[in-house]
């Protein structure tokens, strides 16, 4: 039978961990109490690392109180380092529980005669603004410090004022008069006014105050102030307009007027940058404003300003501002991009090309859209052929511009297959001409996106890809950076080959080129090429490339990881083998998956990577699926080679059996067992899905598709072969054959391997539906056997692509739990008196990191299960456990909840605390840790006394 348990290791804070951070805090406290300044500084700078390792409020609170004491009594040098600790621990400072005591100890320094000490205190209070935003004493001190004549203290006061104004609306409104007075004062230096202006950005919550702020800023623009003050004022007005919809039109008019009249180029550049910000609300622009922008004479602007004008228009078109533009063939916008599309400056040409591609993608007339697409294709080819632009594309700014340009082209290729093929052919023809550089790497990445959208678009350029790989194999690069870039480009070119042949037979030239690239690359490049083969279902090729790596690596853990990946590839290659029976190949493939899981478990135990839970469970579930398929194949083979005996058929035909399936003998029981097996595997995939919070959307889609494969086979056997839905495990509503898993995103947005797996599921559903629509067949006939076998072979031999999350995690989320009270003696239970309620506090910290956030945490669900003790001689006939649950919202990375349990039964109660994460779409993910706690409830003393009195020989003398 297939196992049904799906467990995860506990990740919780035990008593040993508590002792660890207590000892670490004691060691740092010893350093703080030292008389040597060096040891004190060393202890202070270690606190941020301590907070990251043990991010619990009990530690954070005690640590900050100790630091506050040192801040009050220490020197300015120590205060400076404590300030750095507070600034680096912004997320942890919100966990301070004794906030008033912390502020009391640090705030006393504000009355010092030393302006440096007061400035350090003000900056420390600025870091405390999220914790004490409405502290009246701090507000008064900040307002008073704004009148200081000391430059250091004044700058610190401005920093504190901005911090508190961003958190407290009351303070912002009360501060306005003082800020306005200083800005309008002629005695206030311009540098101070520039520093004070950002405070005004936080005064938009009150309508009258916001109007006064705008009036002051407009007055500043009318006066002859330096460009830095004008730029700052324009930025503040744009920020106000972004926050409110009503001021967008007025701000756009102000920026356009300033753009045409201000002779200062720096101010004009900032006007265009602010217009680009407001273009994100393009639906609020009118035709008059866009015409004013287009009427600017090209000769009046430099290249930076020309590029910004084009970027503003491109942003308008992207954000529904296309209705405010005239899109006729001779309209100003078309004249504009035609003027700059062939510019020698990469920034200008890239902006014009992006504007053209956005116009082509959003043109309301189909004929005009196709003409613009052809113009975009020619402009892209011209850009890649321009030596000047390609030279500019190798600098960091040029790389960003080229990436944006190619991204716009890829977005245009999503319109239809013809456009995708056209752009892919244009980019592919330039592969051989481009020199080794970042532009070539970006072109390869763009081709992979186009190939993922429409796979056949890569077939015309395969010869160019092979030629480019062969060229790099022969080239010798000595520079380290160039060598690293060469390896990256070769890997991306090999990915193009794997993507183009996904689901097809390899061309001899492409296969030979891929093997040579893997042979001549370094070990990391070889692994990445094998990984690409695994992701695009080239198991045999990937096996040949990856198998030799485990003998080269010196680390035992890395070798075990490579062995696990090799076994997984061998599992798929065995299914595709032409030798042996299908049942033997399935059994061998399942054994390979189990060996792969054991190898990866070894890697996880040795600590190479923090967690291999997904890898192990994915491989185990894959092995269980293959085992279920093998059992079904054996059953179908039995029906083929050993049909029901003639007496059973005769009895069934004569009406002796009430159930027609009984004449099939043991085969009916075996088919029902297969239904149960596939249902259990589907439950395994569902559990794997719910535990994969950090997985990307394509990985989750592949898990859901595999789950629906299992459900389709279970329903197919139930409906077609057994023919009696009421005898099986499914209701009539569950016996539909529509393959429609609820994918995390639309099918058109999924990757190529997901779309192909989905198509396979649709074909399986069609086969099983055709069998279900044949009521004239016997209960289990050869037609059923052949149909189910063909559907099973279709799934087993279809492309099996290893999901991305198996190799790469875009984000990593860890939850740490702390439960109090807890036993300090291992598994010893916590004792409570009889008749009292047990109060339990559950605290947790969420730690997230990664290159991209797939989903965000909205809330945390905490479940508490109480398993009461059994009385003497009592047999557990039913589950009498009690369940409590509570939803809590995480404050940044910390959450806390309290439970009160009535443990009335004397004995040891087993408590299990489990957590689940709730994302922004209210989906529950069972990835959180669990914590077990034993609580002993004392016996009733009155019952104990009666029991002792009734015992012989227990009477008093």
Q: pLDDT digit string (tens) for 909-939?
A: 888 899 999 988 888 998 878 888 888 887 7
pLDDT of residue 948: 47
CA distance 754 to 748: 10
φ/ψ (deg, to 5) at 188: -80, 130
Range scoring the smallest mean pLDDT among 92-96, 295-299, 458-462, 801-805: 295-299
* Mean predicted confidence (pLDDT) in 321-341: 79
Q: pLDDT digit string (tens) for 248-304?
A: 888 899 999 988 888 888 999 999 999 999 998 888 888 888 888 888 766 677 888
Distance, CA of 490 to chain centre: 28
User: Helix, strand, or coil here: 821?
Assistant: coil
* Mean predicted confidence (pLDDT) in 879-906: 82
Got the DSSP string for 175-210? Answer: HHHHHHHHHH-SSS-HHHHHHHGGGGGG--SSHHHH
pLDDT above 60 (res 10): no
Q: pLDDT digit string (tens) for 202-224?
A: 887 777 888 888 888 888 888 87
Confidence band, pLDDT 50/70/90 cuts, at residue 188:
confident
Q: Please, are residues 470 and 421 in contact by the beta-carbon 8 Å criterion?
A: no
Q: Choose among 56, 138, 144: nearest CA to 104.
A: 138
Q: Please, are residues 342 and 382 in contact by the beta-carbon 8 Å criterion?
A: yes
Confidence band, pLDDT 50/70/90 cuts, at residue 636:
confident
Confidence band, pLDDT 50/70/90 cuts, at residue 720:
low
Q: pLDDT digit string (tens) for 797-850?
A: 888 888 988 888 888 888 888 888 877 766 788 888 877 888 888 888 888 887
CA distance 731 to 551: 53
φ/ψ (deg, to 5) at 799: -55, 125
Confidence band, pLDDT 50/70/90 cuts, at residue 727:
very low
Range scoring the smallest mean pLDDT among 320-324, 413-417, 489-493, 855-859: 320-324
Count Cβ atoms below 10 Å from residue 133 Cβ, excluding itself. 18
**Residue of higher predicted confidence among 824 and 495:** 495
User: Helix, strand, or coil here: 858?
Assistant: strand
Q: Choose among 223, 225, 259, 254: nearest CA to 240.
A: 254
Helices and strands (H, E) in the chain, number of each type: 38, 9
pLDDT above 80 (res 15): no
Q: pLDDT digit string (tens) for 649-699?
A: 444 444 444 455 555 566 777 888 888 899 999 999 999 999 999 899 999
pLDDT of residue 333: 84
pTM across the whole model: 0.85
pLDDT of residue 5: 37
For all residues of the chain together, what is the average pLDDT?
83
CA distance 932 to 865: 10
Q: Rounded to 10 degrees, what is the CA torsion of 256, 257, 261, 263?
A: -40
Confidence band, pLDDT 50/70/90 cuts, at residue 880:
low
pLDDT of residue 183: 87
* Mean predicted confidence (pLDDT) in 414-433: 89
pLDDT of residue 290: 86
pLDDT of residue 271: 92
CA distance 51 to 809: 25
* Mean predicted confidence (pLDDT) in 564-588: 88
CA distance 346 to 389: 5
Distance, CA of 488 to chain centre: 24
The burial class, CB within 10 Å (0-12 / 13-18 / 19+), for 639 is buried
Confidence band, pLDDT 50/70/90 cuts, at residue 728:
very low
CA distance 761 to 703: 13
pLDDT of residue 708: 92
The structure tokens listed for 587 are 């059994």
Range scoring the smallest mean pLDDT among 112-126, 222-236, 936-950: 936-950
Q: Choose among 579, 632, 590: nearest CA to 791.
A: 632
Confidence band, pLDDT 50/70/90 cuts, at residue 239:
confident
Q: Please, are residues 548 and 518 in contact by the beta-carbon 8 Å criterion?
A: no
* Mean predicted confidence (pLDDT) in 450-459: 91
The structure tokens listed for 557 are 């853990």
């Amino acid at each position: 039978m297939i196992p049904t348990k799906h467990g995860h290791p506990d990740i919780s804070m035990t008593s040993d961990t508590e002792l660890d951070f207590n000892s670490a805090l004691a060691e740092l406290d010893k350093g703080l109490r030292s008389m040597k300044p060096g040891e004190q500084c060393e202890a202070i700078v270690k606190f941020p690392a301590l907070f990251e390792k043990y991010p619990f409020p009990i530690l954070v609170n005690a640590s900050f109180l100790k630091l506050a004491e040192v801040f009050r009594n220490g020197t300015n040098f120590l205060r400076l380092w404590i300030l750095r600790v507070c600034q680096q621990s912004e997320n942890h400072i919100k966990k301070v529980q004794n906030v008033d005591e912390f502020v009391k100890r640090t705030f006393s320094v504000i009355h010092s005669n030393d302006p440096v000490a007061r400035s350090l205190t003000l900056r420390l209070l600025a870091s405390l603004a999220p914790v004490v935003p409405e502290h009246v004493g701090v507000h008064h001190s900040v307002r008073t410090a704004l009148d200081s004549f000391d430059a250091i203290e004044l700058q610190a006061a401005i920093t504190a004022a901005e911090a508190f104004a961003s958190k407290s609306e009351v303070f912002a409104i009360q501060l306005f008069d003082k800020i306005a007075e200083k800005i309008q004062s002629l005695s206030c230096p311009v540098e101070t006014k520039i520093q004070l202006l950002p405070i005004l950005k936080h005064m938009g919550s009150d309508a009258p105050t916001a109007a006064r702020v705008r009036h002051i800023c407009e007055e500043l623009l009318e006066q002859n102030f330096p460009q830095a003050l004008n730029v700052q004022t324009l930025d503040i007005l744009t920020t106000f307009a972004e926050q409110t919809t009503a001021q967008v039109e007025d701000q756009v008019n102000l920026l356009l007027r300033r753009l045409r009249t201000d002779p200062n180029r720096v101010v004009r550049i900032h006007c265009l940058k602010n217009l680009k910000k407001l273009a994100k609300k393009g639906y609020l622009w009118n035709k008059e404003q866009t015409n004013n922008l287009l009427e600017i004479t090209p000769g009046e602007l430099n290249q930076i300003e020309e590029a910004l004008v084009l970027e503003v228009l491109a942003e308008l078109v992207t954000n529904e501002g296309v209705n405010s533009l005239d899109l006729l063939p001779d309209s100003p916008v078309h004249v504009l991009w035609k003027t700059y599309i062939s510019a020698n400056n990469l920034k200008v040409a890239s902006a014009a090309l992006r504007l053209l591609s956005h116009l082509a993608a959003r043109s309301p007339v189909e004929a005009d859209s196709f003409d613009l697409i052809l113009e975009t294709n020619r402009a892209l080819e011209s850009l890649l052929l321009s030596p000047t632009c390609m030279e500019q594309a190798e600098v960091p700014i040029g790389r960003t511009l080229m990436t944006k340009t190619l991204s716009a082209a890829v977005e245009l290729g999503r319109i239809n297959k013809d456009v995708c093929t056209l752009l892919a052919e244009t980019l592919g023809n330039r592969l051989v001409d481009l020199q080794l550089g970042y532009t070539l790497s970006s072109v390869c990445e763009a081709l992979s996106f186009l190939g993922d959208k429409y796979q056949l678009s890569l077939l015309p350029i395969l010869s160019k890809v092979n030629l480019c790989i062969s060229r790099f194999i022969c080239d010798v690069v000595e520079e380290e950076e160039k060598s690293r870039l060469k390896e990256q480009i070769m890997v991306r070119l090999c990915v193009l080959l794997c993507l183009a042949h996904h689901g097809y037979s390899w061309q001899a030239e492409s296969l030979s080129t891929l093997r040579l690239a893997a042979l001549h690359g370094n070990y990391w490049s070889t692994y990445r090429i094998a990984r690409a083969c695994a992701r695009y279902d080239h198991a045999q090729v990937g096996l040949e490339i990856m198998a030799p790596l485990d003998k080269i690596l010196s680390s035992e853990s890395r070798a075990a990881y490579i062995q696990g990946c090799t076994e997984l590839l061998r599992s798929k290659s065995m299914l595709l083998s032409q030798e042996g029976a299908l049942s033997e190949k399935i059994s061998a493939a399942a054994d390979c998956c189990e060996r792969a899981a054991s190898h990866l478990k070894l890697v996880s135990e040795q600590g190479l990577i923090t967690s291999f839970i997904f890898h192990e469970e994915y491989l185990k579930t894959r092995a269980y699926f293959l085992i279920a398929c093998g059992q079904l194949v054996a059953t179908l083979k039995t029906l083929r080679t050993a049909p029901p005996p003639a007496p059973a058929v005769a009895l069934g035909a004569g009406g002796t059996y009430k159930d027609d399936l009984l004449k099939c003998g043991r085969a009916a029981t075996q088919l029902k067992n297969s239904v149960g097996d596939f249902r259990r595997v589907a439950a395994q995939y569902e559990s794997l899905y719910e535990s994969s919070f950090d997985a990307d959307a394509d990985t989750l889609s592949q898990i859901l598709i595999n789950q629906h494969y299992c459900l389709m086979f279970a329903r197919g056997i139930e409906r077609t072969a057994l023919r009696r839905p009421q005898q099986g495990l499914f209701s009539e509503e569950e016996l539909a054959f529509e393959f429609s898993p609820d994918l995390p995103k639309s099918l058109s947005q999924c990757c190529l391997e997901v779309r192909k797996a989905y198509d396979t599921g649709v074909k399986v559903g069609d086969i099983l539906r055709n069998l279900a629509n044949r009521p004239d067949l016997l209960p289990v006939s050869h037609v059923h056997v052949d149909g189910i076998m063909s559907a099973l072979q279709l799934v087993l031999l279809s492309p099996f692509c290893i999901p991305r999350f198996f190799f790469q995690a875009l984000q990593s989320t860890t939850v740490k739990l702390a439960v109090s009270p807890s036993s300090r003696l291992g598994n010893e239970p916590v004792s409570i008196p009889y008749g009292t309620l047990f109060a339990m506090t559950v605290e947790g910290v969420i730690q997230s990191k990664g290159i991209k956030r797939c989903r965000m945490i909205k809330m945390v669900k905490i479940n508490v299960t109480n398993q009461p003790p059994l009385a003497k001689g009592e047999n557990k006939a039913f589950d009498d456990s009690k369940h409590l649950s509570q939803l809590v919202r995480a404050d940044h990375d910390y959450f806390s909840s309290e439970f009160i349990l009535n443990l009335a039964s004397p004995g040891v109660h087993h408590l299990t605390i489990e957590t689940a994460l709730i994302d922004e779409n209210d989906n529950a993910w069972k990835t959180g840790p669990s914590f077990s706690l034993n609580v002993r409830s004392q016996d009733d003393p009155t019952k104990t006394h009666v029991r002792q009195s009734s015992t012989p020989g227990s009477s008093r003398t």
